[in-house]
Amino acid sequence: MEQAAQLLRLARVRAAVNSGEARQLREAAHLSIGEVARACGVDQSTVWRWERGARKPRGNGALAYGELIDSLRSRLRPAVEFQRSLGLLPENSETPGAATPEASGERINKSTAK
């Protein structure tokens, strides 16, 4: 991937993390932090910190995370928009199917993940 494309992907993933969209998409896909971390080649505490704003996504792991987020967005957002267009969801509702941290398999010891 050329450098400009990498920078654009990093900017997109950082915006998705800062807005909470990345976490919403992961939860809507019923993916745990551990599953995402393994797929991106990073520790699960890294993804946990990214999604909570404690760390800025960087490096190859962040690029892989960005690719995953882009893929989830393209697959999940059309369904959400379709449901909103039918009046099944309010305009400002969160992504349907988003699980609670416990239900999505997040088992991070928050005292050690700081």
pLDDT, tens digit (0-9, with 9 covering 90-100), for 70-89 = 999 888 878 777 777 777 76
User: 3-state class of 114 per DSSP?
Assistant: coil
- pLDDT digits over 22-60, tens only? 999 999 899 999 999 999 999 999 999 999 999 999 999
Give the Cα separation of 56 and 58 in Å (integer). Answer: 6
- Domains recognised in the chain with CATH numbers: 3-85 (1.10.260.40)
CB 44 within 8 A of CB 37: yes
Give the per-residue pLDDT at 81: 77
Q: CA 31, 61, 20, 95 torsion: positive or negative?
A: negative
Phi-psi region of 66 (alpha: psi -120 to 50; beta: other; left: phi over 0): alpha
CB 1 within 8 A of CB 64: no
Give the Cα separation of 105 and 114 in Å (integer). Answer: 19
